[in-house]
Amino acid sequence: MTASERISRRSFNRGVFGAALYPLLANSVKPLFAELPHVNVPPDEIAYLIAEDSLYPTELKAKYEGSHPGVKRFWVENWREPRQIFEWKVNVQHSGKYEVTLMVSAPPGTPIAVEGPHNKLTFETTQPFYHDYWWKSSDYYWDRITLPALLSLPKGESAIRVHLIQPVAVGEKGAGLKSLELLNHKERPAFDARIRAFKSDTSWLNDAKFGVMCQCGGWTYPPHGPHKPWPGVIDQFDVEKYAALVDSTGAGYAVWSATWGQFLFPAPIQAIDEILPGRTSKRDLIGEMADALAKRNIRLILYYHAGATDAPKGHEMIPGSGSWWSKNWTTPYDKSLFVKNWCAIMQEVGERYGDRLAGWIYDDDLVYYPVPYEEMGKAAKAGSPSRIISYNPWIQARGTDFQDLQFGEGFVGSADLPESAHGIWPSGPHKGLHAHGNFQLDGPNWGIVRADEKITPPVFSAEKATEMGLLAAQRNEALSWNVEMYDDASVSEDSLKVLQQMGSAVRKLYPKKKA
């Protein structure tokens, strides 16, 4: 919210639903909208109630990247006491019973209440402490929980509140709330049918087993010397060298960055040129790459970041004059232009490559959520209904069921997935998605973004990587091993040897099948 939208506590008192709440909150209310905006609850779609946009006490903290809000939105944390209430106004188009889904982080067994004007629902969290090799310090327990009971809502205006039932005493950051989603329970069968029709078959990943991921593009440097002006890296990139490198590992697929630190797309895409000229290349590197990999029985998945500013660090979600963000965002709260442009790009790219493009993995669902995922997913699968897609929720649970696989940043495999599941999570934060992880084998970053950067030694020994690869292959968890790559398609020899030893061991037990 902007400063002009904030008001005094006295004005807030006049606008609060339920006067009895005011004595409880009066000493700790965050600055509010002049009149808390209504969330419209449609009769046949999901209504998203975002924690950051609710009324909540000042001691709760909205998490940001950096020191200020932007288009990248996290959650509200430091939630510890039952008196700390989240409240939304809703405007319900059709009265009825509504399914409630929460994106919440709290220690297992934490009791939480959801209250509407007619009834109160309670539940306990179940997700264990979030951990993986990369984010071990994370103090979160993220889950996506759909309550078994339904919330009764009358037509018209009412209020919905969420609060803890008991204090949360553990954890540096306490509990956290991302959102509450509402769906009319009568629409659930039709909604599930749409999800089933949307999803693509991911069973080919069970044969592919693992892939090689490279964050290489227009931002990439050579082993020594200055950066090539765009699109120099693309014009000079050796596709055959790259494809042979991936093939030497035994990988069943490759993940290549269409965009990353800067929005520079390695193909002639008119939809991008119409938004901001100078961000595409005349050479169709993606098409050449797809063909070179296909000759070696390797599928191509594209990683896509929706577009950082031109700042050297990248991923700074701050619209600025002349930046990619400035051409895609009206305000951080208005995603209409972003969605329109995004769908146009996906539609053109998808139709251009058809079945040669096996999948998309979209970084930063912290930027996307919530968006019209079904509409966007259809654009993402243009030209190939079998194409698989995923959105990166980082350490959170999945943001939508209109996707096919777990993005899995930092996920290196887990024994929690039973072999009988054939690679699909049967429950938990990624329920219904194919288990997939992508993580750094070396560093210091995901890609080469500085001059004369020296690639660090592999994080895992060949023996450890082989153990990880075999266990994941046994459970049908697809692992994408990210290696830093210079602009001449070279990588660390030490990292390549690790991948080749791991891949050889996997292929002895699981020979690659024709893609």
pLDDT in tens, 449-492: 999 999 999 999 999 999 999 999 999 999 999 999 999 999 99
Q: What is the location of CATH 2.60.120.260 in the chain?
A: 3-193
**Interacting residues of 148 by C-beta distance below 8 A, sequence separation 6+:** none
pLDDT in tens, 316-347: 445 555 678 888 887 778 899 999 999 999 99
Q: What percent of the chain has pLDDT over 70?
A: 88
pLDDT at 314: 54
Cα 169 to Cα 152, 163, 330: the distances in Å are 32, 15, 41
Q: What percent of the chain has pLDDT over 90?
A: 80
Task: Label the pairing between strands 111-115 and 156-164.
Answer: antiparallel
Residue 173: which pLDDT band, with cuts at 50, 70 and 90? confident
User: CA geometry: angle at 347 spanning 343 and 353, to 5°?
Assistant: 145
Whole-angstrom distance, CA of residue 499 vs CA of residue 248: 9
Best CA proximity match to 444, nearest among 479, 495, 502, 405: 495
pLDDT at 475: 98
Q: Which residue's entry shows tokens 């990624």?
A: 430
DSSP helix/strand/coil, 154: coil
pLDDT in tens, 396-408: 999 999 999 999 9
CA pseudo-torsion sign 73, 75, 78, 81? positive
User: CA geometry: angle at 408 spanning 475 and 491, to 5°?
Assistant: 95
Strand order in the sheet with 436-440: 388-391, 359-362, 299-304, 253-257, 210-214, 478-482, 436-440
pLDDT in tens, 372-398: 999 999 999 999 999 999 999 999 999
CA pseudo-torsion sign 286, 287, 288, 291? positive
Specify the CATH number of the domain 201-509.
Answer: 3.20.20.80
Whole-angstrom distance, CA of residue 155 vs CA of residue 393: 33
Contact 339, 303 (CB under 8 A): no
DSSP string, 236-303: H--HHHHHHHHHHTT-SEEEEESSSSS--BSS--HHHHHHSTTSB-SS-HHHHHHHHHHTTT-EEEEE
pLDDT in tens, 102-149: 999 999 999 999 999 999 999 999 988 765 555 555 678 999 999 999
pLDDT at 153: 98
How many CB atoms lie under 10 A from the CB of residue 457?
A: 13
Residue 396's Cβ-count burial label (10 Å; 0-12, 13-18, 19+) is buried
For 252-261, give one letter per residue: b (16+ CB within 10 A) or e: bbbbbbbbbb
Q: Which residue's entry shows tokens 């319900």?
A: 92
This prediction's pTM: 0.91
Whole-angstrom distance, CA of residue 199 vs CA of residue 374: 10
- Better-scored residue on pLDDT, 202 or 34: 202
pLDDT in tens, 44-88: 999 999 999 999 999 999 998 766 677 788 999 999 999 999 999
- Tokens standing for residue 419: 């072999």
Task: Label the pairing between strands 76-79 and 61-62.
Answer: antiparallel
Q: What is the location of CATH 3.20.20.80 in the chain?
A: 201-509
Q: Which residue's entry shows tokens 């409240």?
A: 87
pLDDT at 122: 98
Has domain 3-193 been given CATH number 2.60.120.260?
yes
